[in-house]
Amino acid sequence: MKTRDGKTSRIISGPLTGLWTVFHTALRRSRAMMIVAVAISVGLLLIGGVSIGQTEISVSGIRIGLLDQDRSTVSADLTRYLSEDLGLDVRDGMSLDELKTELLDKRISAIIEVPEGFEAAALRGAASDGGAADAEPGGSAAEAADTAMARIRLTVMGDYANEAFLRAYLDGYAGSLKTLIAAAGGDAARLHTLLADTAANDFSVQVADKNEELLRTEAERNGFGSMLGLFEIISFLLAIGLCSMLFADRKGGTFTRVQASNVRAGAYTTAMGLVGVVISLLIIALPLIFTAVARLDAGMPMGVIILIVFVYSLFVIAFGLFAGLWMTSQEGIVALVVIVATISSMVGGAFFPLETAPEIFQKLAVITPQYWFNDVVDSYFFTDAGHWGTGVCVILLMAAIFFILAGVRFVMKGSAKTA
């Protein structure tokens, strides 16, 4: 394209030609979507607040499912500790599949699995110490007890607060078990006697106090986790909005005129993507602002939260552009987005923990952005080794694939055709 002085304008003929025009026009047409985004943001904030207020205050009486595959004296004592010392409502005698069904139906709050060989693993280290009856809790005896307790599997369904408390109580039992194993010197019969004496004399094990500060912290994390989980699913409404806007352009002839102009594919997809980013930020804005201003414990750094939300939004936007440019009918667009959002959320662990899902779901989960989103969040919520690099890179790669496919469709002949 020539300017008045006859020189070629690099800006006008660049790969992002028309970006501002497309962005500004699309932003003005998205006012209704912005209003809906703000309404969703208010809803997320209210739901998070309700979740914080309804966090369980007492661990006593909580219903849990116990799968004791070891059936040893030590595992029986652990069951006694959970039911008698802590006052939990322990459901025993069910299969793992039955317990998973109970958890999904919310008839129990957690599943505790004690693997076969639990007692043997706990005693193995103490025996290697030479069987010293006066051994102190430490060395290989303590390590063996820690290894045995680490094999116990705890599964919950989005109940971050009670998971933290149950883990704290299991850690307390582990501390008591280390002392008794060291005193028994690796002898199983002597350990059984010590466990019986402990239960008969009502010797309390050391457990983490469920004080108000811990309760408040876990309640805040539980509430924020609920908001992130809902955002993970609701954000696909953004994809439907973008699809509808693209389809209207294709059907009304606007898309054909844009293709005939000097607007490049990169400029068009980037501009529409930026509109999606603005709307996505509006959806999550109030929860993030409230969390920062009120100094709530979100369970993970605010910078990581913003990063993972932004990257996940990019995937939703890219998929929306892909669907809006490739599908030939409005009904097809909505059906595709709803089906993909539902199935990927289910397989990726947004609806229920993957531990309770069929094995095929667990294998397929890695191809969904929800899996990697949850992987980042769970790494901060449930472990001390939070990590975000892998999850962010994988979701970015998925988003890039759909952005490229949208750009390819933009330059193809007949891409404006609709049913």
Q: What angle do CA 291, 297, 301 make, to 5 degrees?
A: 85
Instruction: Say if residue 316 is in the same domain as residue 287.
Output: yes
Give burial (CB, 10 Å; 0-12/13-18/19+) of 234.
middle
Instruction: Say if residue 341 is in the same domain as residue 270.
Output: yes
Instruction: Say if residue 367 is in the same domain as residue 322.
Output: yes
Residue at a domain's end among 209, 242, 269 = 209
Q: Would residue 253 be called left, alpha or beta, if left means φ above 0 and alpha means ψ between -120 and 50 degrees?
A: left
Instruction: Say if residue 71 is in the same domain as residue 41.
Output: no
Two tokens, residue 330 = 């409005």
Element (H, E) at 7: none
Instruction: Say if residue 83 is in the same domain as residue 228.
Output: no
Question: Sheet harboring 153-156: ordered strands across?
Answer: 89-91, 63-68, 110-114, 153-156
Q: In 294-388, where does DSSP find H-type helix?
A: 302-326, 330-348, 359-364, 369-381
Residue 385 placed within a domain? yes
Instruction: Say if residue 123 is in the same domain as residue 236.
Output: no
Instruction: Say if residue 184 is in the same domain as residue 78.
Output: yes
pLDDT of amino acid 262: 63
Q: Which residue in 172, 139, 140, 148 sits closest to 74, CA to CA?
A: 148
pLDDT of amino acid 174: 79
Give burial (CB, 10 Å; 0-12/13-18/19+) of 6.
exposed
- Whole-prediction pTM value? 0.62
Task: Give the chain's length.
Answer: 419
Q: What angle do CA 49, 313, 392 make, to 5 degrees?
A: 100
Instruction: Say if residue 46 is in the same domain as residue 69.
Output: no
**Cβ neighbours for 360, distance < 8 A, ≥ 6 positions apart:** none
Proportion of the chain in helix, strand, coil states, percent, rounded to 5:
70, 5, 25
Q: What does each of the 419 residues of the chain score in pLDDT, given as a tens digit?
A: 444 444 444 433 444 556 777 787 778 878 888 888 888 888 888 877 666 555 544 455 678 888 888 888 888 888 888 888 777 888 888 888 888 888 877 788 888 898 888 888 877 754 434 333 333 444 455 666 667 777 788 887 766 556 767 777 787 787 778 778 877 777 788 888 888 877 776 554 444 444 455 666 766 777 777 788 888 888 887 778 777 777 777 777 666 666 666 666 667 777 777 888 888 888 888 888 888 887 777 778 888 888 998 999 889 888 888 888 887 787 888 888 888 888 888 888 877 777 777 778 888 889 999 999 988 988 887 776 778 899 999 999 999 999 888 878 777 754 445 55
CB 360: neighbour CB atoms within 10 A?
Answer: 9
Instruction: Say if residue 321 is in the same domain as residue 389.
Output: yes
Residue 117 placed within a domain? yes
Two tokens, residue 406 = 């949208």
Residue at a domain's end among 157, 176, 209 = 209
**Cβ neighbours for 405, distance < 8 A, ≥ 6 positions apart:** 322, 326
Domain carrying residue 150: 63-209
Q: In 54-115, where does DSSP find H-type helix?
A: 73-80, 96-104
Residue 8 placed within a domain? no
Residue 214 placed within a domain? no
Q: Which residue in 137, 139, 138, 144 sits closest to 123, CA to CA?
A: 144
